[in-house]
Structure 1
């Protein structure tokens, strides 16, 4: 029987391409290698569905960045004068030329104008298309890729093209070559999402016979020896802490928030973001608060925090299924919520949940995966809101090199927009030191040996938080039994920002490290992280009705966010602007409120990694916060009470 070559995928693709003619030829806009761990399954079915996000060149992002730095710099007379949503949108809106040329391109490819959905600032276009239409638009081929360890299916194209006259107008199209998936590779590579130490892993450890019993005993000891509703003002961390199981009481005593009473909880909010099917189980949170923050439990804090479910997400409250329990689903979400409420109650909390497939999704040849990009989906939603929480913590991330630069850049610029509006954005610094042994290779085709960097911790428009362990003194967190090591390093995508260069703290550390140490393994000119650190070792959580101990910067990020939320509370009560984008103030003055961490290193990639040292270092940043001093310095900030008449054209 003669083969019908007219029905082959390559012919169909060629036919599709021929129907999308333009006055200028197509050329490749971006090519990105398939990361390790992803296996090609098959050509994606042309009739499958895909949601394309097209990032247009923003009109005046450099002006937005200037505004961001000026309103975040305590030495500037515009400090604290944050932009409104409308002002931000006006600055980043694409030019009329960009909008008309891109819309013309889409329509010439046979895609109706009714399918074009613009973001609130018109800098992103969303198109719900068949895979065949997407291939015609981008002159590419989509395939299905499978990641066995995380059980994740992705529909991706390793390269894509545009008409040459559009290369300067379109900055990013996703999903294409990006294999970024916060709930997938992060678990494989043990970057921020991963949590460590469950009962099985700890059973053989001589000082932890039964983690659940240890946490139960600790809870009982605290309730018998201390009245958690009437704590002494002079309670020391040495009295409140058991470093085998770290509780909110320990954190509050260690960082000085224990006796602070919130004054403006109705005007202040903090938030967490759930990706990859994670959820915040209210019953588990209530059990946690009853044990470790009874005043919050009596107030019903576990049942009154706000949910914002996006792109079909569900913040699941029914019991976890056997499959979810095997994947430890909900453990990350519970940790984030319990860390925030355990420290910063009664500050209002918002939980954002982002839609997407669960890690246990089984692929079907004719059923493509949900291809929503998680950070992008959340940013589109958040930036469209007129009101936002003052601090947002994200405990998820991926290896920077697995995210194409154009996509990482646009996501990072989205965080800059949040900062310009007065939002403090916080990320975990990663959980594998400078890179997990066996994975420290470039994916650019050279396979060169190098340290790995975590994204979005490497974004210069957020504050990155490392992990510590022990007290008196604290040290860089690690756990030999499970491979956890607090992350840190230097971005290969983003240059070192001015706030790090201005005061020489990074260059000073590099001088101590030496020019010949780790030559070629890292980018000496890159954005350095973490900025700060908090406890991230053996943190007590409640998951599936039981107490567990976990390690990770996933614990450190919401802990620091909770401390910042309380500083914001004090500022709001005094009628002053909240902290907003933290880093310019942090590197100029705020660092004085941090306890230096000088012990330990973030080893990885077969090396000792970066050592902790006096001052800033890429293992612990400036160290851990002392809330009384942090609040004092924040309240001392000087700013104009009103905007000048010529705002915002400064």
Structure 2
């Protein structure tokens, strides 16, 4: 805090003219600081007139109780298993104490910001206010700068910020300040090829489906995925109640024409869904159906085509999330809503129970070290709310193995070598998805171009109890291998895996092959949506947050992947990262799903046949 501010504050306190009906003012102190990630560099002072949508996270009143509820309703051995909380139940648990809100409102009012300038999340645990940089710098006693990423994009951030001391315990985080997290679409960074081969001509059901005959490693189709993972003869029965969703960011959207071409070719009975799936627009997100430029919409097309190709006729919602335009000072940019991830999360948490989807697929993440611990913790706690309400949230584990070679260093200023985990996959309240390739057997996905299924251990979140047995067994097999380069006591990921290599995709009207965990994640989400369909039809609750069930019982319904490794960080050890082994591993988790085993394990009884499917 400036000397002038301290002097004025001291004088006002001494005279009593600055007395507060809530609490006496206190001096400012640093609330949070974070090293600037190595891929970013400071290039200029931030324009004082540049607007930022500032989000203030008020301390939630009873998150510990929410977490207890989450684990009880997600534990298959608990009497409350499957008794998911309602929107109102969750809101009551996370809404801030009145005293906390009063203190924050008082502080804002002292800085000329009235309640009429504010907007709130559904539980009032987040406050949003749009302010120019100059005012935010005074409010947080900080200095913003323009930072440039090595890819040329720019943003406005600071490395540390402050609050009055008496507010430290009432505010968890304020963003955008020192977070450099970007929800990057993984498919944009991956190997994308024009299709140059031929698909299997037989796209009808066999009495005895043969994976070898149907599946080809270069051109994985819905027929292949449905055959390999045993959903081929399941007829969904609960499409009116069951729902699935995906999220788009950074201008990505889902092209209906491309999706129609894809479904006509690979799932003709589902073709009409290309024009019937719903967009839910958040903060002016893009739903443009214009001819695409550059590589935009590869991720969006991959996601929607995979989910409809496998999960149809389950209704699909595509969240179109706006915000985070590039900051271009020379163009006189004055507005920059640059935390779109929070826009999405708060929008979904505010949805009523009858609208909320039962599964959500997200193929966007970033290096964990770009995220301040305070921000990561709060985002993760908000994701826990979705799990408590019965939503299965899936995140791609990343496409660079244990890290992009050449970039495997810590973000603490020491420059020490380090495996680089991905967030939000490292959040213990979500399910992280790795990638496989090939058939009979499936192996860890890896391409010589540099794509490798991601996995590892969090540096921010401790290992949750549900992982203890599986992860300890893996660490025992690993011994001291590369022990100095990861946090063995951290939350380990991924949890499960699915095919993620050379997916047949139609993009920009052209047959295209796309690889990555960004393919595996919507595939898993669609399969779990079908599991939920069977559960609903059987009068049972949907899976919701599936990790406690997965690590205790569910792993039995997955095919263990034991060949390959999370290659990456070539400067560390042999560059092969974590190897896949028998049992759980931080490359493919427990492996890939077996649909029939899943629903039988969950107690959905019936018979399979080749004309009527499962009944």
Give the TM-score category using the shorter length: over 0.9
Alignment of 1:220-369 (within 5 A): 221-222=200-201, 225-227=202-204, 231-297=205-271, 300-320=272-292, 324-325=293-294, 328-358=295-325, 362-364=328-330, 366-368=332-334
Q: 1:526 is matched with which residue? A: 490
Residue by residue, what CA displacement relative to the aligned partner does 1:466-498 show, whole Å, maximum 9, x if unpaired?
000000000000000x21000000001111111
Look up the SS of the partner of 1:266 in the other structure.
coil
Look up the SS of the partner of 1:398 in the other structure.
strand
Q: 1:412 is matched with which residue? A: 380
Alignment of 1:177-196 (within 5 A): 177-183=178-184, 192-196=186-190
Q: 1:27 is matched with which residue? A: 29
Query: Does the C-alpha gap of structure 1 residues 517 and 212 become closer, same or farther in structure 2, counting only changes over 3 Å?
Result: closer
Look up the SS of the partner of 1:445 in the other structure.
coil
Residue by residue, what CA displacement relative to the aligned partner does 1:267-306 show, whole Å, maximum 9, x if unpaired?
1110000011101000000010011111101xx1000001
Q: 2:564 is matched with which residue? A: 600
CA drift of 1:196 comes to 2.5
TM-score normalized with structure 1 length: 0.88
Q: 1:457 is matched with which residue? A: 425
Work out the CA distance in 1 between the residues paired with 2:595 and 2:57: 40
Query: Does the C-alpha gap of structure 1 residues 365 and 572 become closer, same or farther in structure 2, counting only changes over 3 Å?
Result: same
CA drift of 1:16 comes to 12
Work out the CA distance in 2 between the residues paired with 1:564 and 1:488: 21
Query: Does the C-alpha gap of structure 1 residues 74 and 41 become closer, same or farther in structure 2, counting only changes over 3 Å?
Result: same
Q: 2:192 is matched with which residue? A: 198
Look up the SS of the partner of 2:484 in the other structure.
coil
Q: 2:83 is matched with which residue? A: 81
Q: 1:512 is matched with which residue? A: 477
Instruction: Figure out how many residues of one structure are paired with residues of the other and give that number.
Output: 587
1:586 maps to 2:550: yes
Runs of at least 5 residues in structure 1 that lack an aligned partner in the other structure: 1-9, 187-191, 200-210, 638-650
The structure 1 segments of at least 4 consecutive aligned residues displaced by more than 6 Å after TM superposition are: 13-22
Query: Does the C-alpha gap of structure 1 residues 307 and 176 become closer, same or farther in structure 2, counting only changes over 3 Å?
Result: same
Work out the CA distance in 2 between the residues paired with 1:369 and 1:32: 24
Look up the SS of the partner of 2:195 in the other structure.
helix
Does structure 2 conserve the Cα–Cα contact (< 8 Å) formed by 1:477 and 1:485?
yes
TM-score normalized with structure 2 length: 0.92
Does structure 2 conserve the Cα–Cα contact (< 8 Å) formed by 1:142 and 1:155?
yes
Work out the CA distance in 1 between the residues paired with 2:328 and 2:270: 40
Work out the CA distance in 2 between the residues paired with 1:161 and 1:174: 12
1:432 maps to 2:432: no
CA drift of 1:153 comes to 2.0
Select 1:447's aligned residue among 409, 415, 422. Answer: 415
Select 2:370's aligned residue among 396, 402, 412. Answer: 402
Work out the CA distance in 2 between the residues paired with 1:570 and 1:180: 37
1:570 maps to 2:541: no
Q: 2:454 is matched with which residue? A: 487
Q: 2:348 is matched with which residue? A: 382
Work out the CA distance in 2 between the residues paired with 1:561 and 1:362: 37
Q: 2:438 is matched with which residue? A: 470
CA drift of 1:541 comes to 0.5
Q: 1:124 is matched with which residue? A: 126
CA drift of 1:363 comes to 3.8
Does structure 1 conserve the Cα–Cα contact (< 8 Å) formed by 2:534 and 2:604?
no
1:69 maps to 2:74: no
Residue by residue, what CA displacement relative to the aligned partner does 1:375-431 show, whole Å, maximum 9, x if unpaired?
211011111111300000000000001111111111111110000000000000010
Q: 1:159 is matched with which residue? A: 160
Select 2:507's aligned residue among 534, 543, 546. Answer: 543
Does structure 1 conserve the Cα–Cα contact (< 8 Å) formed by 2:239 and 2:315?
yes
CA drift of 1:636 comes to 5.4
Does structure 1 conserve the Cα–Cα contact (< 8 Å) formed by 2:259 and 2:305?
yes
Does structure 2 conserve the Cα–Cα contact (< 8 Å) formed by 1:159 and 1:177?
yes
Look up the SS of the partner of 2:146 in the other structure.
strand
Query: Does the C-alpha gap of structure 1 residues 166 and 410 become closer, same or farther in structure 2, counting only changes over 3 Å?
Result: same
Work out the CA distance in 2 between the residues paired with 1:237 and 1:446: 50
Look up the SS of the partner of 2:485 in the other structure.
coil
Residue by residue, what CA displacement relative to the aligned partner does 1:125-149 show, whole Å, maximum 9, x if unpaired?
1111121211111011111112241
Alignment of 1:35-184 (within 5 A): 35-149=37-151, 151-183=152-184
CA drift of 1:570 comes to 0.4
Residue by residue, what CA displacement relative to the aligned partner does 1:453-478 show, whole Å, maximum 9, x if unpaired?
00001110010000000000000000
CA root-mean-square deviation:
2.0
